[in-house]
């Protein structure tokens, strides 16, 4: 007889991938204070508790303000390594086998930190995660959409010497007023250089931004995409093309994209045959790593174990792993399902 697991145990145990994770968004207050002290950088909060209390946002912009302030204490390769390694330690315990990680070089190069310092620290932690935990990774470099096209072009140029370490190009930060088409020429060059492309769209911005990302940026995967559901033709297009959506439920709740998890569109996405996945986005700020996102969303939307199984499979199907690697991970998900359904 298969062993019977509670929904929580099932979520904890099932193998999964994380496809929407900003490494700067994993920066826990304890580590932030530790690194700030190590680098003799003052921060305006007197304690870890005071900093945690500041993590109450009304919208995306309020979150971004504190996010960029926290990133300001990162100055050395070791800082970026320590932050990234802390993430891997957490998600290894949550049975994440593969992670596709966003990083924001402009957040750091604008402060005078070299591109090499940023990526070498992050990459070294990725290498150690593979050796120590067996976690595979891909790095996705994001452009900050509130900055101009010239800055994005400069960042893309800086990435070229490190192309072997960077799998894809993304677009994040304040969405409203910064449509994907603002970066069409940059993405055209990224495609020419051989990068896979993704973009945040339809989080706070309208469904038109999703069309814009599909048509002008030629994205292979859509980050967030909640508001795509407002356009029936767009829903059919996404489902037909099997474009994965990297959905972040607790982020959506914390940033007031939804005012209650029971209203979250994840189940509607699954019902529309969209390749939706569950991710944590900026877990240090949004109150939960990947398992907490699965668990709270499952409770709110009354998801079944079969729904969780489908979401876990989607996480590998929607990844940028090679087919052979996908099959290996999907076999592990199937084996868990067969043992515990």
How many CB atoms are closer than 10 A to CB 160? 9
**How far apart, in whole angstroms, are the C-alpha atoms of residue 283 and residue 287?**
6
Place of tokens 């996908």: 326
Q: Is 203 a catalytic residue?
A: yes
C-beta pairs of 236-243 under 8 Å, 24+ apart in sequence: 238/210, 238/274, 239/272, 239/273, 239/274, 239/275, 242/275, 243/214, 243/219, 243/275
Q: Is 144 exposed, middle or buried (0-12, 13-18, 19+ CB in 10 A)?
A: buried
H-state helical runs in the chain: 7-13, 29-38, 48-53, 60-71, 77-92, 105-109, 115-133, 149-159, 184-193, 207-216, 232-241, 249-254, 266-271, 283-286, 290-301, 305-317, 323-340
Per annotation, catalytic residue among 8, 203, 208, 230: 203
Complete edge-to-edge strand list for the sheet that includes strand 221-224: 16-22, 96-103, 136-144, 168-172, 196-201, 221-224, 244-247, 276-278
**What are the C-alpha distances in Å from 139 to residues 29, 104, 136?**
24, 11, 10
Return the active site residues. 203
């Amino acid at each position: 007889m298969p062993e019977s697991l509670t929904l929580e145990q099932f979520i904890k145990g099932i193998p999964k991938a994380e496809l929407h994770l900003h490494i700067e968004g994993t920066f826990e207050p304890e580590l932030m204070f530790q690194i700030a002290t190590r680098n003799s950088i003052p921060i305006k909060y007197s304690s870890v508790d005071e900093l945690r209390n500041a993590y109450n946002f009304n919208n995306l912009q309020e979150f971004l303000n504190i996010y960029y302030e926290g990133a300001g204490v990162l100055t050395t390769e070791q800082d970026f390594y320590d932050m990234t390694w802390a993430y891997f330690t957490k998600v290894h315990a949550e049975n994440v086998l593969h992670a596709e990680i966003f990083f924001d070089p402009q957040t750091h190069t604008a402060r005078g930190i070299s591109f090499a310092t940023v990526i070498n620290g992050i990459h070294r932690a990725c290498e150690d995660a593979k050796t120590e935990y067996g976690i595979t990774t891909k790095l996705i470099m994001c452009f900050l959409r509130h900055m101009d096209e010239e800055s994005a072009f400069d960042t893309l140029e800086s990435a070229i010497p490190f192309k072997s370490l960077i799998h894809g190009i993304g677009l994040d930060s304040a969405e409203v007023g910064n449509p994907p088409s603002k970066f069409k020429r940059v993405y055209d060059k990224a495609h020419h250089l051989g990068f896979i492309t993704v973009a945040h769209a339809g989080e706070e911005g309208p469904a038109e931004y999703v069309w814009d990302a599909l048509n002008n940026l030629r994205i292979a995967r859509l980050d967030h995409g909640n508001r795509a559901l407002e356009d029936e033709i767009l829903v059919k297009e996404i489902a037909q093309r099997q474009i994965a959506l990297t959905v972040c439920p607790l982020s959506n709740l914390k940033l007031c994209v939804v005012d209650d998890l029971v209203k979250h569109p994840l189940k509607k996405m699954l019902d529309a045959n969209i390749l939706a996945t569950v991710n944590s986005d900026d877990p240090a700020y949004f109150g939960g790593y990947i398992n907490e996102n699965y668990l709270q969303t499952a409770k709110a939307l009354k998801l079944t174990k079969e729904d969780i199984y489908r979401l876990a499979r989607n996480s590998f199907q929607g990844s940028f792993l090679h087919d052979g690697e996908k099959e290996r991970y999907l076999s592990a998900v199937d084996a868990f399902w067969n043992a515990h359904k």
